[in-house]
């Protein structure tokens, strides 16, 4: 082929390609990247499909790229992704130190002036507290979670037992259960991945120390010489060590993962499991089919004067990346999650306790019975007990988590662990 | 052919792509690690504060750092005994002891090396689980008592358990290298020794071992380097626990960077880690030259 003809052909093909590209792009396509924790619950995933479909329908030309990660990978990778140019536009976060740290480091967008026509139509301004830093809003809460003792209803009924209401009764129950069957434990604790242990200790510490004093320590606001020195911290650790020593837990607490401990509970190796609201559907899918009841963690018998009317839980929500090029769109997406209908559907299908309960009564008969019980029970508490592993500086969390393993093993005394935490807290406070 | 005068330019041109890759993926990040080790930084992309050598000074009083370093050393010593020792025994058996199905045995023993370490960690985690793992049941059949927390939940046993799993994976690899070395020894040496009445274990000690000295040194160095680099097995199998019982340098660096919001300190430890790796690199280089 002559050179001139080849050139003309290339030009012609180029023109055709440009024309084809123009004809297939009537509007500028936009992609909104959303990151969330992964879930094995069919209801949760189905609910996300529906929310995304609704958003895409309301925003023609926008595609939502929805990506999920397991909790540990998510925590470790989020900040790195946000600092890169490939991070998400909208991302899940816990309303705590996790979201505050992202905000403090300039990785989350300031949403203070974006809520007026969006989420503030559905929730009160006061609810934004868990995602606020120095009076500015860096995230929007969408739902709450709470942690309860799930217990095997059939076991307790069959043996004429009542689930313990305080720790004195709990220790008696640990013995009773072992007498019935030495291979069955009163409760299960899978602390290989360390977060279940710290949830236990968070609850126990809150009962002894009280949430306000605890939060002052966790946020390093207490005076230096008082940080983590309340005797309640030591008592909480002593109590979990005693539970291990008196056989309240199944074998191998520190070698069992949280997931595996759930399996031990659902297969009858333990009569109870301290687990979040998200666990009900997992227990059902593991064959329990609602054969469990819920109760608050037994009250601490040796702290009768303390206000123990708190339940372990927190508010979760979404933040928007400071680097997002679609902040308005991202804010619309977050606002959609707070509309009455979506909130009700997330309760029904994903067991997410809504912050906006406007439409919930419409679907009352479709909500999982355990979640209905939780929704009815939560207003009875004075608030949430703080969770140590989401509200505390990362280094302190690690010392706490590993220290709890050592306390359970008997390698470290509660006093030594708290002294270590105090010293490190003082050091961190000084460096801030 | 290039003329003599143009050779350096041509050589540079040919080297250029590799230099760019090395520079971009090795030397630039390395320089960045050095620089970042002098700063305090909470998250990647977040603000940095210059603190000089404070991160290096902190290592001196960091109990976990020293424990991690000691764990790496224990990992190295026990891995040499298990991986190289067992590899040597297995290689000797396959070289002179076993006559039939040699290839089958070799393949079976080598097989774990082709499985990913993460998968091996998960598999052994389940095998050693004190609640559902079969090893507890097998041991009880033989009357061997198992700790209540299982091997991986017991602080005094968790590191040994992790090293054992590592040995299970890598012994086959060592065996293949050592076997190759043994098979290169001339048969005449053994024949001559036999005529002098030297056979069996004596032949192994007096002929085999000295003949494969260099191969053994290479295996030992590979094992030591592997023991200092270990991360994935520890992360999957024990997550550094219980407590800090199985923490190693790589996992502690990872934890500081991604969990403790302590990026500067993680970089400082990486610099020290690099120093240790360089020492072993130099030893290996000298041994090979010898």
Number of CB pairs < 8 Å for A and B? 121
pLDDT given for residue A282 in this prediction:
83
Residues of A in contact with B150 (CB under 8 A): 251-252, 255-256
Average pLDDT over residues B191-208: 88
- Residue B48: strand, helix, or coil: strand
Is A133 within the bounds of a domain? Answer: yes
**B42–A105 CB contact, under 8 Å:** yes
- The model's confidence at residue B102, banded by pLDDT at 50, 70 and 90, is confident
Average pLDDT over residues A218-245: 95
Is the pLDDT score of A305 beyond 80? no
Residues of A in contact with B255 (CB under 8 A): 398
Is A331 within the bounds of a domain? Answer: yes
Superfamily of domain B62-289: MetI-like (1.10.3720.10)
User: Which pair of tokens denotes residue A69?
Assistant: 């990660």
Is A3 within the bounds of a domain? Answer: no
Domain boundary (A337, A358, A378) is at: A378
Element (H, E) at B20: helix B7-22
Least confident segment among A186-200, B162-176, B198-212: B198-212
Average pLDDT over residues B135-143: 86
Which tops the pLDDT comparison, A211 or A19?
A: A211
**Minimal Cα–Cα distance from B144 to chain A, Å?**
17
**B242–A406 CB contact, under 8 Å:** yes
ipTM of this predicted structure: 0.71
Which residues, in sequence order, are CB contacts of A312 under 8 Å at separation 6+? A146, A147, A199, A202, A203, A206, A297, A384, A385, A387
Domain boundary (A356, A378, A400) is at: A378
pLDDT given for residue A22 in this prediction:
42
Residues of A in contact with B128 (CB under 8 A): 255
Give me the residue spans of the domains in chain B: 62-289
Nearest CA in chain B to A402: B243
Which tops the pLDDT comparison, A347 or A85?
A: A347
Which tops the pLDDT comparison, B96 or B186?
A: B186
Q: Answer yes or no: do A307 and A321 share one domain.
A: no
Q: Answer yes or no: do A347 and A243 share one domain.
A: no
Domain boundary (A334, A354, A378) is at: A378
Average pLDDT over residues A55-75: 91
Nearest CA in chain A to B238: A192
Q: What is chain A's mean pLDDT, rounded?
A: 88
Q: Answer yes or no: do A268 and A181 share one domain.
A: yes
The residue to which tokens 């079969």 are assigned: B134
Spell out which chain B residues touch chain A, with contact meaning CB-CB distance below 8 angstroms.
40, 42-47, 128-132, 148-155, 238-244, 255, 258-262
Q: Residues A129-178: pLDDT tens digits?
A: 889 999 999 999 999 989 999 999 999 999 999 999 999 999 999 999 99
Q: Answer yes or no: do A122 and A166 share one domain.
A: no
Give the mutation candidate from B41, B44, B45, B256 for the A interface (greatest A CB count, under 10 A): B45
pLDDT given for residue A16 in this prediction:
43
Q: Residues A137-147: pLDDT tens digits?
A: 999 999 998 99
Is A7 within the bounds of a domain? Answer: no
Residues of B in contact with A255 (CB under 8 A): 128-130, 149-154, 242
Is A227 within the bounds of a domain? Answer: yes
Residues of A in contact with B260 (CB under 8 A): 393-395, 398
Q: Residues B246-270: pLDDT tens digits?
A: 999 999 999 898 888 789 999 999 9
Q: Answer yes or no: do A306 and A319 share one domain.
A: no
**Contact between residue A425 and residue A258 where contact means Cβ atoms under 8 Å apart:** no
Nearest to A43 by CA among A362, A372, A356, A345: A345
Residue among A252, A263, A408 minimizing CB distance to B150:
A252
**A255–B130 CB contact, under 8 Å:** yes
Tally of domains within chain A: 2
- The model's confidence at residue B133, banded by pLDDT at 50, 70 and 90, is confident
Q: Residues B113-126: pLDDT tens digits?
A: 999 999 999 999 98
Residues of A in contact with B262 (CB under 8 A): 394-395
Q: Answer yes or no: do A327 and A400 share one domain.
A: no
Nearest to A252 by CA among A236, A269, A267: A269
**B44–A80 CB contact, under 8 Å:** yes
Q: Answer yes or no: do A170 and A267 share one domain.
A: yes
pLDDT given for residue A40 in this prediction:
74
Domain coverage including residue A177: 146-312+384-431
Give the mutation candidate from B51, B242, B264 for the A interface (greatest A CB count, under 10 A): B242
- The model's confidence at residue A18, banded by pLDDT at 50, 70 and 90, is very low
CATH code for the domain in which residue A298 is found: 3.40.190.10
């Amino acid at each position: 082929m002559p050179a001139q003809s080849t050139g003309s052909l290339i030009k012609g093909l180029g023109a055709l390609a440009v024309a084809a590209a123009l004809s297939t792009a009537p509007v500028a396509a936009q992609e909104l990247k959303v990151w969330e924790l992964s879930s094995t619950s069919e209801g949760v995933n189905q609910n996300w499909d529906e929310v995304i479909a609704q958003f895409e329908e309301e925003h023609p030309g926008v595609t939502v790229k929805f990506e999920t990660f397991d909790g540990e990978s998510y925590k470790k990778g989020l900040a790195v992704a946000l600092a890169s140019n490939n991070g998400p536009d909208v991302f899940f976060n816990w309303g705590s130190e996790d979201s505050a740290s992202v905000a403090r480091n300039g990785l989350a967008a300031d949403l203070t002036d974006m809520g007026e026509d969006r989420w503030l139509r559905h929730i009160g301004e006061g609810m934004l507290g868990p995602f606020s830093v120095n009076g500015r809003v860096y995230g929007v809460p969408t739902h709450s979670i709470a942690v309860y003792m799930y217990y095997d209803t059939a076991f307790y009924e069959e043996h004429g037992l009542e689930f313990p209401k305080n720790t004195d009764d709990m220790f008696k129950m640990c013995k009773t259960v072992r007498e019935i069957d030495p291979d069955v434990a009163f409760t299960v604790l899978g602390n290989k991945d360390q977060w279940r242990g710290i949830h236990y200790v968070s609850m126990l510490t809150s009962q002894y120390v009280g949430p306000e004093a605890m939060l002052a320590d966790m946020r390093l606001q207490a005076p230096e010489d008082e940080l983590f020195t309340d005797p309640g911290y030591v008592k909480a650790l002593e109590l979990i060590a005693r539970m291990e020593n008196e056989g309240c837990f199944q074998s191998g607490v520190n070698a069992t993962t949280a997931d595996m401990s759930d399996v031990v509970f659902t297969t009858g190796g333990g009569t109870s499991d301290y687990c979040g609201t998200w666990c009900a559907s997992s227990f059902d899918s593991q064959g329990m089919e609602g054969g469990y009841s819920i109760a608050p963690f037994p009250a601490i018998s040796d702290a009768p004067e303390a206000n123990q009317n708190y339940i372990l839980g927190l508010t979760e929500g979404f933040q928007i990346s400071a680097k997002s090029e679609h902040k308005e769109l991202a804010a619309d997406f977050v606002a959609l999650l707070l509309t009455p209908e979506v909130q009700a559907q997330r309760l029904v299908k994903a067991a997410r306790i809504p912050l906006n309960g406007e439409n919930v009564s419409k679907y009352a008969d479709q909500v999982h019975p355990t979640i209905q019980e939780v929704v009815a029970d939560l207003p009875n508490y004075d608030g949430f007990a703080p969770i140590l592993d989401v509200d505390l500086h990362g280094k302190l969390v690690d010392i706490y988590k590993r220290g709890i393993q050592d306390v359970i093993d008997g390698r470290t005394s509660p006093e030594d662990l708290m002294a270590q935490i105090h010293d490190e807290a003082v050091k961190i406070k000084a460096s801030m | 052919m290039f003329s003599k005068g143009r050779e350096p330019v041509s050589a540079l041109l040919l080297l250029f792509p590799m230099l760019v890759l090395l520079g971009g993926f090795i030397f630039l990040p390395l320089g960045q690690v050095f620089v970042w080790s002098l700063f305090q930084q909470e998250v990647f992309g977040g603000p940095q504060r210059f603190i000089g050598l404070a991160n290096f000074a902190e290592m001196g009083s960091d109990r976990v750092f020293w424990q991690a370093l000691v764990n790496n050393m224990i990992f190295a010593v026990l891995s040499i005994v298990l991986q190289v020792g067992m590899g040597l025994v297995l290689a000797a058996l396959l070289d002179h002891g076993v006559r039939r199905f040699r290839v089958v045995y070799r393949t079976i023993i080598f097989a774990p090396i082709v499985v990913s370490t993460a998968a091996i960690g998960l598999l052994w985690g389940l095998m050693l689980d004190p609640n559902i793992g079969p090893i507890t049941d097998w041991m009880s059949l033989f009357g061997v008592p198992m700790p209540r927390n299982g091997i991986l939940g017991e602080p005094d046993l968790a590191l040994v358990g992790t090293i054992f799993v590592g040995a299970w994976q890598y012994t086959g690899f060592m065996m293949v290298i050592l076997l190759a070395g043994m098979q290169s020894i001339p048969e005449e040496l053994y024949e001559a020794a036999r005529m002098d009445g030297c056979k069996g274990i004596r032949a192994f000690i007096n002929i085999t071992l000295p003949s494969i000295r260099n191969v053994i040194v290479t295996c030992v160095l590979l094992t030591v380097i592997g023991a200092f680099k270990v991360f994935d097995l520890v992360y999957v199998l024990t997550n550094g626990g219980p407590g800090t019982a199985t923490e190693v340098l790589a996992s502690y660096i990872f934890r500081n960077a991604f969990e403790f919001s302590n990026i500067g300190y993680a970089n400082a430890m990486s610099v020290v880690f690099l120093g240790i790796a360089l020492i072993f690199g130099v030893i290996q280089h000298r041994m090979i030259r010898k």
